[in-house]
């Protein structure tokens, strides 16, 4: 994909002025993605996520349903403040291993992680790369962005959790025994990571450009690890493949816009802020995300979202809709890689059927509450 983007630029399909605007808009976002990936990898290496799951196991008091609710809280907070990919990559294995060690079914916990990684990723700009792109277009502060999407963001958490609770009510009704805690190898390092994360999270919603606190946190942790645990610093922490894919997608979709994609989509995406038009745009975003991927779906349809409410409807489609196909979001693919490493099997037919049921209910509800909260007619 990156080679395709470079070829588009080299042969003039992507004009230089458009490439310059694209670069100015996306480099800060990519810097944030890189920095946050390094931060979460180092925090996980220090054992912070394992310590959190140990506490969750204790607070669950031997009741599976209470343990599941605490896992929901962890997955939601991780997605909202650290991004959906963090939940897919780092939260999934620890909660699945927690279930396996407690000898309770792992599937409810695994499916909860991946559904919330997608559907809880609407509230803040840092929750999803598509949100960062939307924020850069609208010029909104994190608080103003949350004020625009809070209603559908709440629906994106409540309805999937309710559906999972109904579907897995029998598996969630049992008991589990006490769990042995993980041994902390370097407590000062763990406390440093926890303190850094505690300062970083409010900084990400303070209104400061998010790449600044993220890069500062990454540099602090890199310095601490270089001194205390240099063996943990490796080039594999850098998300080379996702970054190359993302850069390539940016360039290819911008090239398609340059040769006439925008007028083509304008005929099918509707216009205006009325409820039918918002439903149409969200549905098109969800369908495109499940056919291709949510990032190119957003990039392709962004020019058709001419108002904040329409942009929020598009985000509903591309953030809450990718629950059907495995490739609809990068988070789902990363989640599946982690499950394969843990020898947890997922049947894609069942995954797609369950996701379709959720999307069919969730998208209209989310668009409806967006429309009601926005006060448009």
In this structure, what DSSP letter does residue 375 have? T
Q: Do 249 and 302 contact (CB within 8 A), yes or no?
A: no
CA dihedral 32, 78, 248, 221 (to 10 degrees): 40
In tens, the pLDDT along 331-349 reads 898 898 888 878 888 899 9
Q: Which pair of tokens denotes residue 242?
A: 């996702």
Domain residue limits at 24: 2-374
CA 90-168-163 angle, 5° bins: 85
- pLDDT score for 377: 63
Comparing CA positions, the residue from 252, 273, 270 lying closest to residue 261 is: 252
Q: Give bridge partners of residue 129 from the DSSP assignment.
A: none
In tens, the pLDDT along 179-214 reads 777 788 889 999 999 999 999 989 988 888 889 999
Handedness of CA 366, 372, 373, 377 (dihedral sign): positive
Q: Which residue has the higher pLDDT, 1 or 179?
A: 1
Compute the distance between CA of residue 47 and CA of residue 45 in angstroms, rounded to an integer. Answer: 5
Q: How many domains does the chain have?
A: 1
Report which secondary-structure segment, H or E, holds 308. helix 308-315
Compute the distance between CA of residue 128 and CA of residue 352 in angstroms, rounded to an integer. Answer: 22
- pLDDT score for 338: 81
Compute the distance between CA of residue 334 and CA of residue 308 in angstroms, rounded to an integer. Answer: 31
* E strand map for 229-309: none
Comparing CA positions, the residue from 216, 212, 189, 213 lying closest to residue 201 is: 213
Mean of the pLDDT values across residues 31-55?
87
């Amino acid at each position: 994909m990156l080679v395709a983007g470079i070829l588009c630029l080299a042969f003039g399909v992507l004009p230089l002025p458009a490439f310059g605007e694209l670069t100015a808009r996306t480099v800060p976002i990519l810097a944030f993605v890189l920095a946050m990936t390094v931060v979460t990898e180092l925090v996980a290496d220090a054992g912070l996520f394992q310590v959190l799951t140990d506490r969750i196991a204790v607070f669950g008091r031997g009741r599976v349903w209470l343990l599941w609710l605490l896992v929901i809280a962890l997955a939601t907070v991780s997605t909202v403040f650290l991004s959906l990919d963090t939940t897919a990559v780092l939260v999934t294995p620890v909660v699945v291993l927690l279930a396996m060690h407690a000898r309770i079914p792992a599937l409810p916990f695994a499916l909860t992680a991946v559904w919330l990684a997608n559907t809880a990723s609407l509230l803040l700009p840092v929750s999803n790369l598509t949100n960062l792109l939307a924020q850069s277009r609208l010029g909104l502060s994190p608080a103003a962005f949350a004020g625009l999407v809070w209603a559908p963001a709440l629906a994106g958490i409540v309805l999937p959790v309710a559906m999972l609770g109904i579907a897995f009510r029998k598996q969630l009704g049992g008991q589990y025994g006490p769990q042995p805690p993980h041994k902390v190898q370097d407590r000062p390092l763990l406390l440093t990571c926890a303190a850094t994360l505690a300062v970083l999270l409010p900084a990400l919603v303070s209104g400061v450009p998010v790449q600044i606190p993220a890069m500062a946190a990454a540099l602090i942790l890199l310095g601490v690890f270089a001194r205390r645990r240099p063996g943990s610093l490796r080039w594999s922490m850098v998300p080379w493949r996702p970054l190359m894919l993302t850069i390539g997608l940016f360039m290819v979709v911008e090239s398609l816009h340059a040769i006439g994609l925008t007028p083509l989509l304008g005929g099918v995406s509707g216009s205006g802020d009325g409820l039918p038009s918002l439903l149409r745009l969200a549905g098109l975003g969800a369908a495109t995300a499940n056919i291709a991927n949510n990032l190119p779906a957003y990039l392709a349809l962004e020019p058709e979202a001419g108002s904040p409410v329409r942009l929020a409807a598009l985000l509903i489609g591309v953030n809450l809709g990718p629950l059907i196909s495995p490739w609809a979001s990068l988070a789902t693919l990363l989640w599946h890689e982690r499950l394969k490493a843990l020898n947890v099997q997922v049947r894609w037919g069942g995954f797609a059927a369950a996701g379709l049921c959720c999307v069919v209910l969730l998208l209209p509800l989310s668009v409806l509450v967006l429309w009601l909260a926005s006060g448009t007619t």
